Amino acid sequence: MNENKNKGPDENALIAERRRKLTEMREVGNAYPNDFRRNALADELHQTYGGHEGDHLREEEIHVKVSGRMMVKRVMGKASFIKLKDRTTQIQVRLERDRLAEGLYQKFKKWDVGDILCVSGTLFKTNTGELTVMAEEVTLVTKSLRPLPEKFHGLADQEMRYRQRYVDLIMNEESRDVFRIRSQIITYIRAFLDSQDFLEVETPMMHSTPGGAVARPFETHHNALDMKLFLRIAPELFLKRLVVGGFERVYEINRSFRNEGVSTQHNPEFTMLELYRAYADYNDLIEMIEALFKGLSQSILGSTTITYQEDEIDFSKPFARITVEDVIQKFNPDIDATRLRDREYLAGLATDLGVKVQDNAGAGKLQMEIFDKTCETKLRQPTFVTAYPTEVSPLSRRNDDDPFLTDRFEFFVVGRELANGFSELNDPEDQAERFREQVENAAAGDDEAMSYDHDYIRALEYGLPPTAGLGLGIDRLVMLLTNSASIRDVLLFPYMRPEVFD
RNA sequence: GGGCCGUUAGCUCAGUUUGGUAGAGCAACGGACUUUUAAUCCGUAGGUCGAAGGUUCGACUCCUUCACGGCUCACCA
């Protein structure tokens, strides 16, 4: 038996048996060779030779070198079938004792499902027409010490799928597909923006003043400088500094961090697209989002209609647009439309809905409470809600005709917010005033209120051109396009409480 | 944070209602088998039933607390 220090957690008899096999391999040579180079991937072989007649293939004598993890092993006496899985898909291999070097077949029979093999051989087709490699040489290049989950059901345990994503990815092709699509979505977004002359940038993730969103930040500490730092809650204020600097079109596909609850739609760290475009307003962004979503669904899923859980979503029609006050009326038909900005009236409605009304909440804040309670989940089809109250939009440009409102929208699909955008507030004096209000709110106990960012005001004083900007939740977008019910299904390593190893 | 549900062999699951000391399939181990497709056939081994207490002659089963997870409500994004 091996020494204790070499053992991983959860050692059991199955692992011990495989460890014993590894020890035997070490005794007769290099147990972890790395000198084999394949010359074909499984899906290339299926595409190129899958249509060939079996007799034809025999005559062609096509030699290939493949490698991958052994997912299936069927030993039938002096011959066996196995399946190797590479990054594309699986390819079957047949091993016959009498075609292999002396004693090799006996060694192979001790290998386990999960081991990583390299095979050289010739293509042929089985009686049932499956493209298969007849092995001439076979090498075990990585011994797998841990047994894989059961082949038919795969890995079903949700907790283990998230904690040990590597096992989930080995076993569940649907899970691999989700992350392939995630990558395609991000690639598509980059191409979409790059083609419009946007510059991709990276801005700090550690902020001395958190800002750009309404949320509690994570705090950390810089030892050498002995100072408090915050993980960013949004890159917004840095990106707008870049527009001041003359990068008129910028974007960042960013990881941001918010110290809030965890749910099927919230992870402490999440990915967002933020983009800023000078000489544009929020209507231009609405058009961009509409074009982006139509292009994405067509390109990624091959259709402009998609199924998400219980909903059929149609991206082909023009997306709906409605103002906050109109949508509140639509879903609250008994409301008194003449009192939509009457704080006392709204406070009463909010209280009836179970909202704890804060003393410093104005009509705008209360409108949003009512919206969240009565409207949000009903916005199933793609909808832009516009004209958000200034009170809840401290970075948005005030509407020219109605100072109660800003030129802002949020984008909803399947009852969830996917994006938030607005014409940027580029009046430094108005912005300074809004920051002061936020500071007052913080003093009054609002622990999500923004801080006063002096350097950001200074940047605005140099002059931010008229600009529009938006944030788009990438994780929620991926959920939508992969029909995933939980944000954890689209995050490779979602946040989990630490596992206890004893 | 509240509510509901779950945690049994490496994996997928029975067993809990009605307490009597744990089962199957796959995987493993030994054997048979040269075209399988969740291969098949014979045999063997594998579990302090999430943890700790309690009730009981006796607890996987009933009760309490805790841990982790899922769904959901609240809060938010």
Q: Three-class SS of residue A499?
A: coil
- Strands A383-386, A320-323: pairing is parallel
pLDDT-based confidence at residue A70 (cuts at 50, 70, 90): very high
Neighbour-count burial of A178, counting CB atoms closer than 10 A to its CB (0-12 exposed, 13-18 middle, 19+ buried): buried
Query: Is residue A327 situated within a structural domain?
Result: no
Give the residue-averaged pLDDT of A439-448: 81
Q: Could you please report the per-residue DSSP string of A204-253? A: -SEESS--SSSSPPPEEEETTTTEEEEE-S-SHHHHHHHHHTT--EEEEE
Residue A354 has pLDDT above 80, yes or no: yes
Nucleotide nearest A17, CA–C1', reads: B28
Residue A3 has pLDDT above 50, yes or no: no
Residue A142 contacts residue A117 (beta carbons within 8 Å): no
* Residue A8 and residue A114 in one domain: yes
* Residue A299 and residue A436 in one domain: yes
Q: How far is the CA of A502 from the C1' of B55 (A)?
A: 30
* pLDDT for the residue numbered A356: 85
Can you give the CATH number for the domain in which A391 is found?
3.30.930.10
Q: How far is the CA of A460 from the C1' of B31 (A)?
A: 82
At which residue do the structure tokens 């699909």 appear? A413
The angle, 0 to 180 degrees and rounded to 10, between the axes of the packed helices A324-331 and A363-374 is: 50
Contacts of A244 (CB under 8 A, 6+ apart): A459, A460, A462, A463, A464
Q: How far is the CA of A383 from the C1' of B62 (A)?
A: 53
Nucleotide nearest A159, CA–C1', reads: B69
Residue A482 has pLDDT above 50, yes or no: yes
Q: How far is the CA of A150 from the C1' of B25 (A)?
A: 10
Residue A490 has pLDDT above 90, yes or no: yes
- Nearest residue (Cα to C1') for B38? A152
* Residue A108 and residue A208 in one domain: no
Residue A5 has pLDDT above 50, yes or no: no
Give the residue-averaged pLDDT of A465-483: 96
* Residue A96 and residue A213 in one domain: no
* Residue A94 and residue A144 in one domain: yes
* Residue A395 and residue A445 in one domain: yes
* Residue A178 and residue A130 in one domain: no
Nucleotide nearest A156, CA–C1', reads: B12
> Which nucleotides in chain B have some atom under 7 angstroms from a protein Cβ?
1, 6, 9-13, 25-29, 32-40, 45-46, 67-77
| Chain mean pLDDT for chain A | 93
pLDDT in tens, A373-399: 999 999 999 999 999 999 999 999 999
Which letter does DSSP use for residue A92 in this model?
E
Q: Which residue has the higher pLDDT, A7 or A70?
A: A70
- Nearest residue (Cα to C1') for B13? A153
* pLDDT for the residue numbered A7: 66
pLDDT-based confidence at residue A11 (cuts at 50, 70, 90): confident
Q: How far is the CA of A293 from the C1' of B67 (A)?
A: 43
Query: Is residue A423 situated within a structural domain?
Result: yes
Q: How far is the CA of A85 from the C1' of B71 (A)?
A: 34
* Residue A82 and residue A131 in one domain: yes
CA separation for the pair A470, A421 (Å, rounded): 4
Query: Is residue A235 situated within a structural domain?
Result: yes
In Å, how far are A155, A351, A470 from A187, measured between CA atoms?
Answer: 29, 45, 18
Query: Is residue A339 situated within a structural domain?
Result: no
* Residue A69 and residue A198 in one domain: no
Can you give the CATH number for the domain in which A104 is found?
2.40.50.140
* pLDDT for the residue numbered A426: 97
pLDDT in tens, A402-443: 999 999 999 999 999 999 999 999 999 999 999 999 898 888
CA separation for the pair A79, A83 (Å, rounded): 14
Neighbour-count burial of A206, counting CB atoms closer than 10 A to its CB (0-12 exposed, 13-18 middle, 19+ buried): exposed
Q: How far is the CA of A8 from the C1' of B36 (A)?
A: 35
* pLDDT for the residue numbered A6: 61
Nucleotide nearest A488, CA–C1', reads: B70
Element (H, E) at A454: helix A454-463
Domain boundary among the residues A102, A117, A148 is at A148
Give the residue-averaged pLDDT of A137-143: 97
Taking Cα atoms as reference points, which of A410, A400, A409, A408 lies closest to residue A430?
A400
Q: What percentage of chain A has pLDDT greater than the value 90?
A: 86
Contacts of A283 (CB under 8 A, 6+ apart): none
* Residue A143 and residue A212 in one domain: no
Nucleotide nearest A153, CA–C1', reads: B12
Give the residue-averaged pLDDT of A10-35: 91
- Nearest residue (Cα to C1') for B77? A266
User: How many structural domains is chain A composed of?
Assistant: 2
Domain boundary among the residues A114, A148, A182 is at A148
Residue A73 has pLDDT above 80, yes or no: yes
Residue A101 has pLDDT above 90, yes or no: yes
Residue A46 contacts residue A89 (beta carbons within 8 Å): yes
Domain containing A248 equals 171-319+381-489
Nucleotide nearest A78, CA–C1', reads: B34
In Å, how far are A195, A276, A470 from A249, measured between CA atoms?
Answer: 11, 6, 12
Nucleotide nearest A216, CA–C1', reads: B76
Taking Cα atoms as reference points, which of A268, A234, A240, A290 lies closest to residue A409?
A290
Nucleotide nearest A260, CA–C1', reads: B76
Q: How far is the CA of A100 from the C1' of B71 (A)?
A: 54
CA separation for the pair A58, A384 (Å, rounded): 61
* Residue A137 and residue A241 in one domain: no
Domain boundary among the residues A148, A182, A201 is at A148
Taking Cα atoms as reference points, which of A241, A237, A234, A239 lies closest to residue A251?
A239
Q: What percentage of chain A has pLDDT greater than the value 70?
A: 98
* Residue A127 and residue A272 in one domain: no
Q: How far is the CA of A214 from the C1' of B76 (A)?
A: 10
Q: How far is the CA of A276 from the C1' of B1 (A)?
A: 38
Query: Is residue A34 situated within a structural domain?
Result: yes
At CA A264, angle to CA A262 and CA A267, rounded to 5? 40
**Residue A314, CB-side half-sphere exposure with 13 Å CA sphere:** 5
Residue A140 has pLDDT above 80, yes or no: yes
pLDDT in tens, A217-245: 999 999 999 999 999 999 999 999 999 99
Residue A123 has pLDDT above 80, yes or no: yes
Give the residue-averaged pLDDT of A351-363: 87
Q: Three-class SS of residue A132?
A: strand
Residue A85 contacts residue A69 (beta carbons within 8 Å): yes
pLDDT in tens, A305-342: 999 998 999 999 999 999 999 999 999 999 999 999 99
Give the residue-averaged pLDDT of A97-119: 96
* pLDDT for the residue numbered A118: 97
Query: Is residue A139 situated within a structural domain?
Result: yes
Give the residue-averaged pLDDT of A122-131: 96
Q: Could you please report the per-residue DSSP string of A274-288? A: EEEEES--HHHHHHH
